[in-house]
Amino acid sequence: MRRRLTLAAVTVSLLAASAWGVTALTYEDDHPVDPNTPEARRAIQAAREVVPGRVLEVARDEDNGKWEVLISQDGRDYEVELDPATFSLLRLDYD
């Protein structure tokens, strides 16, 4: 009986640690921004110069303030990362 309780406790602990690990790996430090603010509009304009298309989301990186604009074009989603001060292109990713 004691062995079963110990095994159950270990199993529960491993499941909890596993769930926490998945949550930690999927942590996002990007926070959505209202696309109607003046700075967001400037970020959208700069991102659309790189990738014309439909804006899906505008966000700021909590750690470094980078602008991240998600744009859909021809069935593909692009993430345009912009410098927080100059709005110049830092990186372009796509799925």
The whole-model pTM stands at: 0.70
- Range(s) of the domain holding residue 78: 29-94
Tokens of 36: 């109607």
CA angle 91, 61, 57 (to 5 degrees): 75
Dump pLDDT digits (tens) for 65-93: 999 999 999 999 999 999 999 999 999 99
- In total, the chain counts a number of residues equal to 95
What is the CATH classification number for the domain harbouring 88? Answer: 3.10.450.40
Dump pLDDT digits (tens) for 23-41: 333 347 889 999 999 999 9
pLDDT of residue 3: 54
pLDDT of residue 4: 54
Please indicate, yes or no, if residue 46 is contained in any of the structural domains.
yes
C-alpha span between 62 and 88 (Å, rounded): 18
C-alpha span between 32 and 20 (Å, rounded): 24
Dump pLDDT digits (tens) for 7-25: 444 444 444 444 444 333 3
